[in-house]
Amino acid sequence: MKLFISTYPFAQYDVGPLQLLQNIPGLTVEKNPFSRRLTTAELENLSKNSDVLIASTEKISTKVLDNSPNLKLIARTGIGLDNVPLDECKKRNIKVTNCPDGPTQSVAELNIAFVLDCLRYVSLSTEAMKHGQWQRKTGYMLKNRKCGIVGFGRVGQATALLLRAFGAKVKARDIAPDNAAAEKLSVEFLEKKQLLEWSDTLFLTVPLSSETKNYIQLEELTLLGEQSVLVNTSRGGIVCESDLEVFLKSNASFFAGMDVFISEPYDGKLANQKNFIGTCHMGASTRESRKNMELSAANSVHDFLKAFSLKKI
C-alpha cells in the first residue's frame, strides 16, 4: 500500500507521526518533495496510485481521485474540508477524516495577535520606524471592547475565553448555537445584523460554505462602523476582498487582519493598504499545533488500516 503525504511541513518539528506511519506493516510512505504547498497539478501527479492520502489545504481535485482508483482514506491535517470533494468521496467509498482539535488554540491565539496589532498599531508603527519615522500612535485597549464572534465552535469558544481574560465583552452568532458553552463563557447569541451593529471588533471563525461565502460584504462592513476591527482566520471567500479593499481605502480608522484568502499565495491589492495586516494561512502554524494535527492524521491512518486489515481476514 502507498501513502502519500502532500501536506508541508510534516514531521519537521516532531518525527513521532512519521515514525508511526513508517512502522505500519506493508505501507510505503512518500512525502511532498518540495518545501512548499503543492499545486493541484503537482498533487494530481505525485499522489498517483495512492491508497491513502494525508493532505493539508491544497485542492483535491476529482482527477486526484481518478489517478488513485484504490484510494481508501483522505486524512486532513486540519479542520476544514472545503478542499475535499466530499460527495465524490462518498460515491467512491473513500473515508475522509480531519483533526478538529489540533489547531484550535493556535488559531485562537492568532485571533488575539491580530486584534492587538490592529488596536495598538504594532505593524504600522514598525513599518514607519523602518522608514525613519518615529510615530507614537494612540490606540485602544482590548478591555471593554465589544467583540463579536461569527461561528461559536471550537475556535470561536477558545477565542472567547482569551478575550474574557482581557476583560472584553463578547457576543456571538452561530447557526447551531452551543448554549451550554455560551452560558459557561457568559456569551449571548445575536442575529447577524444585531451582532454587526453591536460589535466594534468582529472575528470570523466559520467554515466556508454556500451560507458563509461572501458573508462580509460592503453592507456588513458599513454596519460595523469606521473604527472597528475585522479578523478572519477561517477561510478565504468569507470576506468579499474587493469590497474590503474599497472600504479600507475610504475608512482609514477601520482595520482588518486576515490569515486566509480566496487565492493563495495572495498577491492582491489588500496588501497595499496601511490599515490591513495579513499572514500566510498560518493560523495552525505553531509547533505544538503541527504535532497535534500530524499525530491525529497518523493515528487516523493507523486505525483505518488496522480495521481494513481485520476486514480482510
Which are the catalytic amino acids?
Answer: 235, 264, 281
- Cα four-point dihedral sign 12, 260, 121, 104: negative
CA distance 58 to 296: 18
Q: In the structure grid, which three cell numbers stand for residue 228, read together? A: 472597528
CA-nearest of 86, 83, 147 to 115 is 147
Q: In the structure grid, which three cell numbers stand for residue 65, read together? A: 481521485
Q: In the structure grid, which three cell numbers stand for residue 295, read together? A: 499525530
CA distance 57 to 80: 8
| Angle between the N-to-C axes of helices 287-312 and 104-120, in degrees from 0 to 180, rounded to the nearest 10 | 160
CA-nearest of 229, 237, 239, 231 to 264 is 237
CA angle 222, 168, 114 (to 5 degrees): 65
